Chains A and B, each alone.
Chain A
């Protein structure tokens, strides 16, 4: 549950989330209270888990009912590399209608697949010489979980957003959105381990002109159950 105790805009609680998320709350830091007004509208989210550790690789998306004129174009084409039998980066954001390519930087073959409802696909086995050959279009918003059929531990997420106002939290748990047009938005936070339907929570947020919002969110994560890469998998190489 997101519980903004004090925010620049009026906040509405998402009642259904309150029912299932008892221990998540949002706090405004004293620094934010005293922040002077600036010309550009920005929002900065600090994401922590219940242990107080920063949450990395969470996607923050601002959703608006009205069309938003955005200057960002980098959200339409993404590249997910495969290096040392891992997807890089782990979380990628794409605006619906965008595409992603899956280059192979390893000297062995990979077989990329997804059974996610947002996009189901699989590539044939391919190697590094087929760079950029395999590109998939992602038209339906949602999260696409991609894996490699050869290497079970390889797992990456493509967040297909409805808007271009998306950011991924860094290693200290901060996700920043800048140049946000003022207006009423829904703030959606997604993380692969977030303990909520579709691993995401939402709340309304009002972005006012010239204001910088700093939000601190504490999210409850479920334990990460995933296939672990065996230590020997790094050492064992064919030939």
Chain B
């Protein structure tokens, strides 16, 4: 058997079901797990990414809102009459104090104020950067404001390394006389506030080209990250315009961050660039994934357990009735048809059980029939009937027919109650039947105390006639041994018979018919006349030559034109006694004289035999015939035959 064959051959139906369940369920569940897990991971990463973009938007929004607040503060300041008066007073020190006062009142919405005249001369600067004239980015800011119709501009500029969100507005008195720049720092407080709103980490980093250095130096200005994560951030983050629209993945020791960049100050390649990095951890995401995964696994285990239970239940519902059925079938095999299976289900198993039950009933009935048939007819006929189509008709066969009758039975029965008679008859018939069957013969029928037995039909044997002769001798000696005054008289013939089912379509017998059968019956009845225990036909004698016979006569039985030679079986040739042998020789001699119509010699020899031998009746028969032939000679054509006019 191939490996696959041995792999998939199961000792039990249950393990086969479990194997197939697992082999079906495992790929399906595995596939679902893979699909769901991958999609879930992707989906949650997408979610985190969208949260992150939301976080970046909130960062922008917060910055813009604060810029608006700053604008409101700065704007209202330009309309403050006291401030205008202070400005008109043209005393920078007073104006500086007024500006600080405003910052104090702003609840941290504004951290710095700078006032510059229309020519770019710094009037006051609360950050005291020491600028007289605005330069660089500051100049750009005011140029942008000047270009704006409303005179408004925003910019992020670093002051002492700290980025400030700035807004420039005109100062009207009532015409524009100056620019006022308000600012708030994007400091720790700011990033903390954004983190509170967005649950995202916010860092503000700067890229600065230090004096004499080739490389830009990256430094975290403020951050909500831990110090360790900040240093990872500086190692991994890529700060350039190409990254602005993209998500970067930053992996620290503890977790992965999705990161988005916002350029706050400077340009690509500039000596000073400030970025905001908004980060969202995938951790909360992966927690969900892990939780979902474990839920999925638990669900799968549940499914597997339920499926296994279902399979076991299913297997049980099949194997339990099946093993019951197997037990019953084994019993049937052993010949016990009395068991039946009870299966409650109405499915195929139930049908099978019903079929097995009815099969058992059928077999039991057949067995009963066979048994009965074997009792009513012989086993061989029963087999013949059971194994062949039962139809009328027969075939010509050569068979040996044995007819047995019991002499003295009528006398034996006198004075006996019928039950006793039947009992005795059954004993005798059983004995005869057993002998017949032990010699491969078949009891064809009983007729009173007579038994008709067949040898060679329905089954042809090797030596049917020999068996018949053996049976004959055994029957004879068996009845003698009974010592009940009963003796057997037997006729045996061999010849062509018609064997087959005789009768009507509804009721038929396996039997044989033909002249051979009739002759056998005649020979049996002739035994009384010749006072011998048996008479066998010439054909039978020829067919079993190893026995000792003596010829009795040539007879022409009633209804037959042909005469037949009849013989008496004396026994087995070698075992024959000398007296018997000499009697046989003498009888043969006498018979010869008789047939030669030498009546004197024949009479003398028969008379001697009559005196010397037991069977006086046999010799008396011939003495009587000689007496009659003397008066009435049979004629010259007589061959020695004797014609029986009646049965």
Partner-B contacts on A (CB < 8 A): 113, 115, 120, 145-149, 152, 154-155, 192, 223, 225-227
A148–B81 alpha-carbon span in the complex (Å): 10
B170 an interface residue at 8 Å Cβ cutoff?
A: yes
Residues of A within 8 A of B175 (CB): 145, 155, 192, 226
B84 an interface residue at 8 Å Cβ cutoff?
A: yes
Chain B nearest Cβ from A113, distance in angstroms = 8
A146–B149 alpha-carbon span in the complex (Å): 22
A147–B79 alpha-carbon span in the complex (Å): 11
Residues of B within 8 A of A146 (CB): 174
Q: Is the CB of A115 within 8 A of B170?
A: no
Residues of A within 8 A of B84 (CB): 113, 115
- Partner pick for A227 among B85, B172, B177, CB 8 A cutoff: B172
Closest to B79 in A: A152
The winner among B84, B172, B173, B175 for most chain A CB atoms within 10 A is B175
Which bracket fits the contact residues of B? 10 to 19
A149–B88 alpha-carbon span in the complex (Å): 14
Residues of B within 8 A of A192 (CB): 175
Residues of B within 8 A of A149 (CB): 81
Closest to A111 in B: B81
A120–B85 alpha-carbon span in the complex (Å): 10
The winner among A113, A120, A148, A227 for most chain B CB atoms within 10 A is A227
B176 an interface residue at 8 Å Cβ cutoff?
A: yes
A223–B170 alpha-carbon span in the complex (Å): 14
A147–B177 alpha-carbon span in the complex (Å): 13
A152–B170 alpha-carbon span in the complex (Å): 13
Residues of A within 8 A of B88 (CB): 115, 120
Q: Is the CB of B151 within 8 A of A225?
A: yes
Residues of B within 8 A of A147 (CB): 172-174
Scan residues 151-178 of chain B and give those whose CB is less than 8 A from a CB of chain A. Answer: 151, 170, 172-177
Residues of A within 8 A of B174 (CB): 113, 145-148, 152, 154-155, 226-227
A146–B173 alpha-carbon span in the complex (Å): 9
Closest to A147 in B: B174
A226–B170 alpha-carbon span in the complex (Å): 9
Residues of A within 8 A of B87 (CB): 115
A152–B85 alpha-carbon span in the complex (Å): 15
Residues of A within 8 A of B177 (CB): 115
Residues of A within 8 A of B81 (CB): 113, 149
Residues of B within 8 A of A145 (CB): 173-175
A154–B85 alpha-carbon span in the complex (Å): 18
Q: Is the CB of A115 within 8 A of B173?
A: yes
Q: Is the CB of A225 within 8 A of B79?
A: no
Closest to B172 in A: A227
Chain B nearest Cβ from A82, distance in angstroms = 14
A227–B84 alpha-carbon span in the complex (Å): 15
Q: Is the CB of B173 within 8 A of A152?
A: no
- Partner pick for A152 among B149, B151, B172, CB 8 A cutoff: B172
Interchain Cβ contacts within 8 Å, total number: 37
A145–B88 alpha-carbon span in the complex (Å): 13
A115–B87 alpha-carbon span in the complex (Å): 9
Residues of A within 8 A of B79 (CB): 152
Closest to A148 in B: B174
Q: Is the CB of B173 within 8 A of A225?
A: no
A159–B174 alpha-carbon span in the complex (Å): 16
A135–B88 alpha-carbon span in the complex (Å): 22
Residues of A within 8 A of B176 (CB): 225-226
Given contacts A146-B174, A147-B173, A225-B176, 4 further A-B contacts (CB under 8 A): A113-B81, A148-B174, A223-B149, A225-B170
The winner among A152, A192, A225, A226 for most chain B CB atoms within 10 A is A225
Q: Which 4 A-B pairs have the closest CB atoms?
A: A147-B174, A115-B88, A115-B173, A155-B174
Residues of B within 8 A of A152 (CB): 79, 172, 174
Closest to A149 in B: B81
Chain A nearest Cβ from B80, distance in angstroms = 10
A202–B88 alpha-carbon span in the complex (Å): 28
Residues of B within 8 A of A226 (CB): 172, 174-176
Residues of B within 8 A of A148 (CB): 174
Scan residues 65-85 of chain B and give those whose CB is less than 8 A from a CB of chain A. Answer: 79, 81, 84-85
Closest to A222 in B: B146
Chain A nearest Cβ from B72, distance in angstroms = 15
A44–B88 alpha-carbon span in the complex (Å): 38
Residues of A within 8 A of B151 (CB): 225
20 contacts between A and B (CB under 8 A): A113-B81, A113-B84, A113-B174, A115-B84, A115-B85, A115-B88, A115-B173, A120-B88, A145-B173, A145-B174, A149-B81, A152-B79, A152-B172, A152-B174, A155-B174, A155-B175, A223-B149, A225-B151, A225-B170, A226-B176
Scan residues 281-314 of chain B and give those whose CB is less than 8 A from a CB of chain A. Answer: none
A191–B85 alpha-carbon span in the complex (Å): 25
Residues of B within 8 A of A223 (CB): 149
Closest to A154 in B: B174
Residues of B within 8 A of A154 (CB): 174
Chain B nearest Cβ from A149, distance in angstroms = 5
Chain A nearest Cβ from B87, distance in angstroms = 8
A23–B32 alpha-carbon span in the complex (Å): 79
A148–B84 alpha-carbon span in the complex (Å): 12
Chain A nearest Cβ from B176, distance in angstroms = 6
Residues of A within 8 A of B85 (CB): 115
Chain A nearest Cβ from B224, distance in angstroms = 41
Closest to B88 in A: A115
Closest to A157 in B: B175
The winner among B79, B85, B172, B176 for most chain A CB atoms within 10 A is B172
A225–B172 alpha-carbon span in the complex (Å): 10
Closest to B84 in A: A115
Closest to A226 in B: B175
A155–B85 alpha-carbon span in the complex (Å): 17
Residues of A within 8 A of B173 (CB): 115, 145, 147
Closest to A151 in B: B174
A147–B84 alpha-carbon span in the complex (Å): 12
Scan residues 501-529 of chain B and give those whose CB is less than 8 A from a CB of chain A. Answer: none
Residues of B within 8 A of A155 (CB): 174-175
A230–B623 alpha-carbon span in the complex (Å): 177
A167–B53 alpha-carbon span in the complex (Å): 63
Closest to B80 in A: A149
Closest to B85 in A: A115
A178–B81 alpha-carbon span in the complex (Å): 42
Closest to B173 in A: A115
Closest to B87 in A: A115
The winner among B84, B174, B175 for most chain A CB atoms within 10 A is B174
A152–B84 alpha-carbon span in the complex (Å): 12
Chain A nearest Cβ from B79, distance in angstroms = 6
Chain A nearest Cβ from B162, distance in angstroms = 31
Closest to B145 in A: A225
A146–B174 alpha-carbon span in the complex (Å): 7
A113–B81 alpha-carbon span in the complex (Å): 10
A152–B169 alpha-carbon span in the complex (Å): 15
Residues of B within 8 A of A120 (CB): 88
Closest to B81 in A: A149
Closest to B175 in A: A145
Residues of B within 8 A of A113 (CB): 81, 84, 174
Closest to A152 in B: B79
A154–B175 alpha-carbon span in the complex (Å): 10
Chain B nearest Cβ from A34, distance in angstroms = 43
A198–B192 alpha-carbon span in the complex (Å): 50
Chain A nearest Cβ from B340, distance in angstroms = 103
